[in-house]
Amino acid sequence: MSPPPHKQSRNLRRHLSVATAGVALSLGAVASAQDSSAPPTFQVKAAPSYETGSNPASAAGGIASLSPKAKAAAEAGVEALGENQFAAAETAFLKLLALSPENPNALVNLGLVEFRLGRQDKAQGYLQRAIRVQPDAALAWMMLGVIAMNENKPEAATADLAQAVYLNPKSPQAHNYYAVMLAKRGWYDAAEDELRTVITLEPNFAEAQYNLALVYFERNPPAIELARRHYQKSLDLGAAPDPDFAAKLNAAPEPAQVQ
């Protein structure tokens, strides 16, 4: 699934970088047509994750059919993952996989663990196995999309993230990743729609507020007041200040007054 190209064509510089774990992932910043200085960057979390309490390996439906040993391994893995103890989580989910071969929850969680450990090739292998076993594993599609973004494969990233949004339309995280990918490709109208969905689902999603400010700034003509409003909202919600973007907002001309 790929949205129609944005009507406005722009010659935009793009870059992709991954920060250290726990820090925002900088994805596809674009230089404003009005300014050739270093561009601001869209914000997403450093790694995809289950929304709070939604890891199926810890849910009754996800572990009810497991043997006592497999259930204990699943619970240990979820607990370790929640505490960012990735080596312990890997050990637990490998044990679950040994006790319950091709268990999709084990595969998805191992993909997540390997992603967090920086081993994207191994993560991708687990995730691809997961979607073969369980094609509606939304988090697996989302992580595959983020890996494709990291590998600068925009078509694959767009398709995988679109699938994640389709499978889990109430996930703010999935919509935010998808919006960033759309914006990277210059499809700002579609990105704006996705970010509005994020904010409807989770008004206090700081990264989405910031990203929406960038999208409004990239309009032609820019929607400066809307960009300022959402940038300020992102700061109020705890997003890190972006001095370069703030300077661009401050330097932007005020909208013409209707007489």
Please name each of the domains of the chain with its CATH number: 16-49+143-251 (1.25.40.10), 56-134 (1.25.40.10)
**What number of CA atoms fall less than 13 Å from residue 230's CA on the CB side?**
23
Q: Write down the pLDDT at residue 165.
A: 96
From 25-39, 71-85, 203-217, the region with the lowest mean pLDDT = 25-39
**What is the rounded (10 degree) CA torsion for 41, 43, 47, 52?**
180
Give the pLDDT of residue 135.
94
pLDDT tier for residue 114 given thresholds of 50, 70 and 90: very high
* E strands present in 94-163: none
DSSP state of 219: S
Q: How confident is the model at residue 53 (pLDDT cuts 50, 70, 90)?
A: very low
pLDDT at 99: 93
The whole-number pLDDT of residue 56 equals 55
Amino acid at 256: A
Q: Which residues contact 59 (CB under 8 A, 6 or more apart)?
A: none
**Separation of alpha carbons 210 and 195, rounded Å:** 10
Cα distance between residue 13 and residue 28, in whole Å? 9
CB 181 within 8 A of CB 188: no
- In tens, the pLDDT along 59-97 reads 434 566 788 999 999 999 989 988 999 999 999 999 999
> Given CA atoms 124, 127, 133, 138 in this order, what sign does their dihedral have?
negative
- State the pLDDT at residue 139: 92
Q: Any idea which of 22-31, 158-167, 181-190, 245-254 has the lowest mean pLDDT?
A: 22-31
DSSP secondary-structure letter at 153?
Answer: -
